[in-house]
């Protein structure tokens, strides 16, 4: 526990021994249960019992969710100490791919090439593409394909298991680029012979994705899960496999018949099998690989729909965590908490539509005087937010969480149909890039959100019109304004979410990394000092001291710069646009690269996709004292090979 030092030494010594993550949740839980009891006894409206109990049930669901969350996350510190691996372990790296761009695979293979512990890398190509086979040859890695795509990713992994012999399998999605010390930081834990797998957090280098907070780009929608919830699951041996990035013991996989193929979420299904057979899991909260987060709402919702549908498949199967033999009670509760995250969509829908129903039908689902209601509800609401903020260790963001909950609500409700209808589902790969139709797809993906927003605004206007011209019947004036405020808040959350999505631009083919590099711009045999502030495989943004005017376009040139890992990188420029000058006389410019030479391309791949993401994250989290990442590494990365330099 980390508390700031206060003035009184005696009080400080007392506070040091207070277990805040036990006593505060205990107090909050007690008040929440009291609040629910009070609501049930005093406030249910007998004239509309269904509506009243529906709202009460939605509030009760919040309490159950909080109880499970606070129980799981009381401790998130590493349960076992780091240990270095023994030399000589046999490791295979699996990169399953289907239709991802070759450039995405190129970045991942670059990361694998720089991993310092000996290993063998394999591209598992379910697309059976000639360009991918050639890429494997260029990087000197194994290439495995199969005649069909049976069981999608799970079948691809199982097929590769039959054609390899490594004792440990690293699973990396096609876009997940490992850090050089990936294996040194994970293999040592397997000294425990009953450890089946090590799971790592999913972090991303495209900080402008749909699930990143633009005001604090290193936070994303899954941060709470990967940096608080999964570490907390270590203490009930229920941290589950998320597929990538991870290391899994071959013997454990073979004992449970390989990767599960019965559901489209093969990772959590395989975890249930492993835990039910007595195998252990470990979540290591270190940033050891970086991938591509969904760039559009279409990709985001498609991914969340697949996760939700697969979870529903699992929970209606004979291997459901609720009844499969071999799990402990704590493991069942932990898995149940993860399942309820999808059921939360129903609760959100109730909260979203309740003001609409009240305003349209002029009924109130509770009977209580407003001052008395506020007396009990206000502490409940405030304590809920404060307790979640404490338990979230800086990763819980109430308003952002509300926006994402409403955005994914529709697809989560859609996934619940899988509980009722046992229909085969098709595994759909999350898109890793965008095309020209992106904006039309974005609007189409939000059609239900537009409909809900329209219903909320319509109900607010209708209620206001009736108040002005017909008066209020059935609602007190105070209750009416409370409901209007509630409905207005809901509409604001949905509107802000929709607006943020529609305001995002997706014009660049390659993600521009934020950098701070020194170099020079060469043009017509002259060299001008340049400061590069963003960089990609196809272009750069920079400031240059040169005798040009703003709005100048150059048709050629060369940009030369160095990185902390490369002495010199030269790129030929296809075009340069100089836009404006600052007070110091530096012109701001943007350059598009011509075809990169192999050496320059390799250097850029190493710096941008392997070294730079780690630099950014280390800097951000070392500055954020409120964020708790107990096992985050402080050491730097090994230098690249001389050939790379």
CATH number, domain with residue 534: 2.40.10.220
Tell me how far apart the alpha carbons of residues 114 and 110 are, in angstroms, rounded to a whole number: 6
Same domain, 450 and 587: no
Helical segments of 178-265, H only: 223-224, 230-233, 250-255
Sheet holding 280-283, edge to edge: 142-144, 120-125, 91-97, 168-171, 246-249, 195-199, 280-283
> In whole numbers, what is the pLDDT of the chain averaged over residues?
86
Specify the DSSP element, H or E, that contains 22.
helix 20-38
The reply to whether 363 and 248 lie within a common domain is no
Is residue 165 located within the same domain as residue 283?
Answer: yes
Q: What proportion of the chain, given as a percentage, has pLDDT over 70?
A: 88
Give the integer Cα–Cα distance in Å for 115 and 640.
10
Is 407 a member of any domain?
yes
Whether 312 is in a domain gets the answer: no
Beta bridge partners of 44: none
Tell me: the pLDDT tens digits for 527-575? 889 999 999 999 999 998 888 877 778 888 899 999 999 999 999 999 8
Residue 641: predicted pLDDT: 38
Q: What separation, in Å, do the N-terminal and C-terminal C-alpha atoms of the chain show?
A: 43
564 and 526 both lie in a single domain: yes
Residues 521 and 452 in one domain: no
With bands split at pLDDT 50, 70 and 90, how would you rate the model's confidence at 437?
low
Last residue of a domain, one of 503, 536, 570: 503
The three-state secondary structure class of 248 is strand
Question: Hey, how many other C-beta atoms are within 10 angstroms of the C-beta on 603?
Answer: 24
Is 107 found in the same domain as 70? no
86 is a domain residue: no
Return phi, psi of residue 564, to 5°. -60, -10
Cα–Cα distance for residue pair 595/566, rounded to 1 Å: 20
Rg of the chain in Å (alpha carbons): 27
Q: How do residues 307-336 score in pLDDT, each as one tens digit?
A: 988 899 999 889 999 999 999 999 999 999
- Residues 159, 237, single domain; the answer is yes
| Same domain, residue pair 68 and 114 | no
The answer to whether residues 65 and 95 touch, using CB atoms and an 8 Å cutoff, is no
Q: Are residues 499 and 517 in the same domain?
A: no
303 found inside a domain: no
DSSP symbol at 79 = S
Does some domain include residue 334?
Answer: no
The pLDDT tens digits for 180-191 are: 999 999 999 999
* Confidence check: pLDDT of 215 > 90: no
The answer on 200 and 138 residing in a single domain is: yes
Is residue 106 included in any domain, yes or no? yes
CA distance 283 to 228: 11
Angle at which helices 438-445 and 297-315 cross, to 10°: 50
The domain boundary residue, chosen from 293, 322, 353: 293
- Residue 476, domain member (yes or no): yes
5 or 449, higher pLDDT: 449
Per-residue b/e over 9-39, b at no fewer than 16 CB within 10 Å? eeeeeeeeeeeebeebbeebbebbeebbebb
DSSP labels, 625-644: TTS--TT---S-PPPPPTTT
On whether both 445 and 528 belong to a single domain, the answer is no
Q: What is the DSSP string of 421-433?
A: --------PPP-S
- Residue environment code for 390-411, b if the CB has 16+ CB neighbours within 10 A, otherwise e: bbbbbbbbeebebbbbbbbbbb
C-alpha 438/C-alpha 251 separation (Å) is: 44
Q: Is the pLDDT confidence value at 177 over 60?
A: yes
**Nearest by Cα to 351 from 402, 401, 297, 408:** 402
Give the span between the Cα atoms of 123 and 88, in whole angstroms: 23
Q: Do 532 and 494 belong together in one domain?
A: no
In this predicted structure, the answer to whether residue 363 has a pLDDT above a threshold of 90 is no
Would you say residue 97 lies in a domain? yes
Which residue intervals of 317-469 are DSSP H helices?
Answer: 329-361, 370-391, 398-415, 417-420, 438-445, 447-469
Question: Per-residue pLDDT for 414 more than 80?
Answer: yes
CB of 141 closer than 8 Å to CB of 123: yes
**How many domains, the chain?**
3
Q: Which domain holds residue 619?
A: 513-623
88: pLDDT strictly greater than 80: yes
Residue 509: pLDDT band with limits 50, 70, 90 = confident
Give me the pLDDT at residue 557, please: 86
Report the alpha-carbon distance of residue 333 to residue 338 in Å, rounded: 9
Position 359 scores a pLDDT of 86
In sequence order, which residues have a C-beta less than 8 Å from that of residue 193 and are 6 or more positions away? none
Percentage of the chain lying above the pLDDT 90 cut: 55
> Per-residue pLDDT for 146 more than 90?
yes
Q: How far apart are CA 187 and CA 91, in angstroms?
A: 9
Q: Which of 293, 321, 352 is the endpoint of a domain?
A: 293
Mean pLDDT for 219-239 is 94
Among 174, 447, 437, 405, residue whose Cα is nearest residue 296: 437
pLDDT score at 111: 97
Considering only 5-9, 114-118, 369-373, 611-615, which range has the smallest mean pLDDT? 5-9
């Amino acid at each position: 526990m980390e508390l700031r030092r206060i003035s009184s030494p005696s009080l400080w010594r007392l506070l040091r021994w207070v277990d805040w993550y036990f006593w505060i949740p205990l107090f909050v839980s007690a008040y929440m249960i009291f609040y629910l009891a009070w609501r049930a006894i005093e406030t249910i409206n007998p004239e509309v019992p269904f509506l009243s109990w529906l709202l009460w049930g939605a509030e009760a669901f919040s309490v159950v969710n909080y109880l499970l969350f606070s129980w799981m996350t009381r401790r998130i510190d590493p349960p076992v100490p780091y240990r270095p691996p023994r030399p000589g372990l046999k490791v295979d790296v699996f990169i399953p791919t289907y239709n991802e761009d070759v450039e995405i695979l190129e970045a991942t293979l670059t990361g694998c090439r720089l991993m310092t512990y000996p290993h063998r890398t394999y591209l598992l190509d379910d697309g059976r593409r000639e360009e991918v086979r050639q890429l494997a040859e260029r990087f000197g890695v194994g290439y495995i394909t199969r005649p069909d795509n049976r069981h999608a990713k799970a079948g691809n992994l199982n097929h590769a298991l039959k054609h390899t012999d490594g004792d440990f399998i690293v699973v990396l999605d096609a876009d997940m680029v490992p850090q050089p010390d990936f294996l040194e930081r994970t293999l040592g834990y397997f000294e425990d012979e009953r450890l089946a797998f090590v799971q790592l957090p999913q972090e991303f280098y495209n900080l402008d994705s749909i699930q990143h907070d633009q005001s604090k780009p290193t936070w994303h929608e899954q941060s709470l899960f990967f940096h608080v919830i999964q570490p907390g699951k270590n203490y009930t041996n229920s941290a589950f496999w998320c597929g990538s990035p991870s290391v899994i013991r071959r013997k454990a996989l073979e004992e449970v018949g390989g990767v599960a193929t019965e559901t489209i979420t093969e990772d959590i299904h395989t975890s249930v099998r492993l835990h039910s057979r007595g195998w252990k899991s470990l979540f290591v909260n270190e940033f050891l690989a970086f991938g591509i987060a969904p760039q559009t709402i279409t990709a985001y919702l498609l991914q969340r729909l697949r996760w939700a549908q697969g979870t529903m498949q699992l929970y209606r199967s004979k291997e459901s965590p609720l009844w499969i033999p071999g799990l402990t009670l704590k493991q069942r509760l932990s898995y149940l908490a993860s399942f309820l995250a999808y059921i939360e969509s129903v609760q959100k829908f109730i909260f979203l539509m309740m003001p609409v129903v009240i305003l349209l039908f002029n009924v109130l689902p509770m009977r209580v005087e407003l001052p008395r209601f506020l007396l009990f509800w206000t502490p409940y609401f405030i304590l809920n937010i404060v307790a979640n903020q404490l338990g979230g260790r800086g990763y819980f963001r109430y308003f952002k969480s509300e926006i994402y909950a409403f955005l994914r609500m529709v697809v989560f409700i859609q996934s619940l149909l899988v509980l009722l209808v046992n229909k085969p589902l098709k595994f759909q790969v999350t898109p890793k890039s965008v095309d020209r139709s992106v904006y039309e797809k974005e609007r189409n993906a939000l059609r239900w959100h537009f409909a809900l927003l329209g219903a909320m605004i319509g109900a607010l206007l209708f209620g206001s019109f009736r108040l002005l011209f017909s008066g209020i019947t059935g609602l007190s004036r105070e209750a009416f304004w409370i409901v209007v405020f509630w409905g207005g808040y809901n509409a604001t959350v949905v509107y802000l979410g929709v607006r943020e999505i529609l305001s995002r631009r997706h014009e660049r083919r390659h993600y521009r990394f934020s950098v701070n590099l020194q170099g020079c711009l060469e043009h017509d045999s002259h060299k001008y000092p340049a400061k590069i502030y963003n960089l990609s495989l196809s272009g750069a943004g920079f400031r240059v001291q040169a005798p040009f005017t703003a709005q100048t376009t150059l048709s050629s040139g060369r940009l030369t710069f160095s990185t902390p890992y490369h002495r010199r990188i030269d790129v030929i420029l296809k075009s340069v646009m100089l836009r404006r000058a600052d007070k110091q006389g530096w012109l701001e410019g943007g350059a598009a690269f011509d075809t990169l030479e192999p050496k320059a391309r390799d250097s850029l791949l190493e710096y941008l996709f392997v070294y730079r993401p780690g630099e950014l994250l280390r800097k951000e989290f070392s500055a954020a004292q409120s964020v708790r990442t107990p096992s985050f590494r402080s050491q730097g990365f090994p230098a690249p090979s001389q050939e790379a330099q």
